[in-house]
Amino acid sequence: MSDTSSGSTVQKNESFLAKSVVGLMFVAVSIAALVLGVVAVVAINNDNGGSSTSSSSSAAVATIVQVRLTEFAVTMTPATVPPGEVTFQVVNGGTLEHNFAIPTLNKRTIMLKSGETAELVVSGLEVGEVAIICEVAGHEASGMKATLTVAEGASAMASTDTAPMSAMTWQQMDKAMEDVAMTYPAKTEGIGNQELEYTMSADGYKEFLLTAKIVKWEVEVGKFVDGWTYNGMIPGPVIHVNSGDKVRIIHKNELPESTSLHLHGIRVPNAMDGVDPYTQKPIEPGATFNYEFVADGPAVGMYHSHHNAQVQIPNGMAGAIIIDDWKTLAMKAASGRTGDADGKAEQEVVMVLNDAGNIGLSLNGKSFPATTPYTLKVGETLVVHYYNEGFMTHPMHMHQPTGLVVARDGVVLDSPYFADTISVAPGERWTVVYTAQDAGVWAWHCHILTHAETPQGMRYMVTAVIVS
């Protein structure tokens, strides 16, 4: 049901995509340049060490180390320097606040917000190894640590073409952005939202097998994390049923800890609500629990963990359960207002938003440029169900056409309305009808800019609709 564009479709659009992406990049460059322009560059010397002068010969050559902070890593270029004075040019390329600290020397930058930069000058570095960390609680343990090696004879690999107060020149920025954009859609292992098949039981239930387990999940090219999944995919498989169906979800727990399954936005008997320890005992590792109910739609429901959920859900344990035919329901609610050519929706898309845990900022478990593009012809319609399984509200914006909001949380609105940016709060589902009006590659992204852009190019909650 989610669009899994065939390789040939994507191939056909590549040159077109390339041109359009270049256009998008002008916007990206402008925004990023603006950010860099207004962010104060801060140099901190928080003890006397920073102001001491050195007469050693190595001090005559400025050693510059470019530092990039992300969730959760500290990368330094170069990571080996000669003794003496070093200038660290630090950029926070992540989404959370971070700093750059050398605890043994009592040296640190201030806390940097996403996209902010700072310089830290450290003099008198001696041969040996220097431990670098981010001092935000928990970030070092999550991987934000690095080692700077100070060695005689190491070259002071200062980038001579780098402006002293910026971590990147504008040319480097343009190049980085283009390099990223041109790989879209980048191929990664694993795809979520696959339709879950059922088997009919002897007692007349549609039986769905849902197994919780941890797999290596590729969020972006080469970045594998521990994905806490249903059936090995993020988001979990889509369950489609009709009103009146007797439904049995056989939930097996192969996690190293207990879990339970809550059917959010779906009418079920209290004992099937998945809220342990009230409505059931936790499903312990190795155990299975059957969730049974009669489907009472229409509904746009989410299923997710309700046990240690602040960890299990953002790590991947969430999926869609949809009751009845929402292509038809949505088009009926739209009643021709979007200009669809034939009154029928061509695609129904589940788009799960996430911003936390092992998966982080993502659309359907993937970060741009590994997100899935969607293809439409002019006059064709895509019905999307936005699901927010994260911790923050995400204003989702498609660059044309304007969406017609037809349902909230699976309830069709009395008065559907147009909106080009739809704020989706945690737990909410919004159903929106988009009919393609003009050919082109139209970006589709969260409009919190740090959820979509970095100085190195577009990232995280970005994808595109390719209209021909």
Binding residues for Cu ion (CB under 5 A)? 394, 446, 448, 451
Radius of gyration of the chain (CA): 25
Contact 415, 451 (CB under 8 A): no
User: How does strand 318-323 pair with strand 239-241?
Assistant: parallel
d(CA 110, CA 100): 8
Burial (CB count within 10 angstroms: exposed 0-12, middle 13-18, buried 19+), residue 393: middle
| Shortest Å distance, C-beta 166 to Cu ion | 26
Residue 146 vs 392, nearer CB to Cu ion: 392
| Shortest Å distance, C-beta 331 to Cu ion | 28
Residue 315 vs 362, nearer CB to Cu ion: 362
Residue 107 vs 451, nearer CB to Cu ion: 451
| Shortest Å distance, C-beta 318 to Cu ion | 16
| Shortest Å distance, C-beta 367 to Cu ion | 12
> Of the candidates 210, 256, 254, which has an alpha carbon nearest to the alpha carbon of residue 231?
210
Count of C-beta atoms within a 10 Å radius of residue 267: 14
d(CA 163, CA 153): 25
Residue 174 vs 355, nearer CB to Cu ion: 355
Helix, strand, or coil (residue 202): coil
Residue 338 vs 367, nearer CB to Cu ion: 367
b/e map 331-340, b = 16+ CB within 10 Å: bebbeeebeb
| Shortest Å distance, C-beta 448 to Cu ion | 4
| Shortest Å distance, C-beta 394 to Cu ion | 3
| Shortest Å distance, C-beta 417 to Cu ion | 22
User: How does strand 394-398 pair with strand 403-408?
Assistant: unpaired
Count of C-beta atoms within a 10 Å radius of residue 223: 12
Residue 366 vs 451, nearer CB to Cu ion: 451
Contact 370, 221 (CB under 8 A): yes
Residue 289 vs 430, nearer CB to Cu ion: 430
Distances 46 to 98, 101, 122, 200 between C-alpha atoms, Å:
17, 11, 10, 69
Q: DSSP readout, 336-368?
A: TTT--SSS--SEEEEEEEEEETTTEEEETTB-B
H/E run at residue 81? strand 80-81
Residue 98 vs 451, nearer CB to Cu ion: 451
d(CA 441, CA 18): 9
Backbone angles phi, psi at 15, to 5 degrees: -65, -40
| Shortest Å distance, C-beta 220 to Cu ion | 16
Residue 436 vs 464, nearer CB to Cu ion: 464
Residue 28 vs 241, nearer CB to Cu ion: 28
Angle formed by the axes of helices 14-38 and 170-181, nearest 10°? 140
Q: How far apart are the first and last CA of the chain?
A: 20
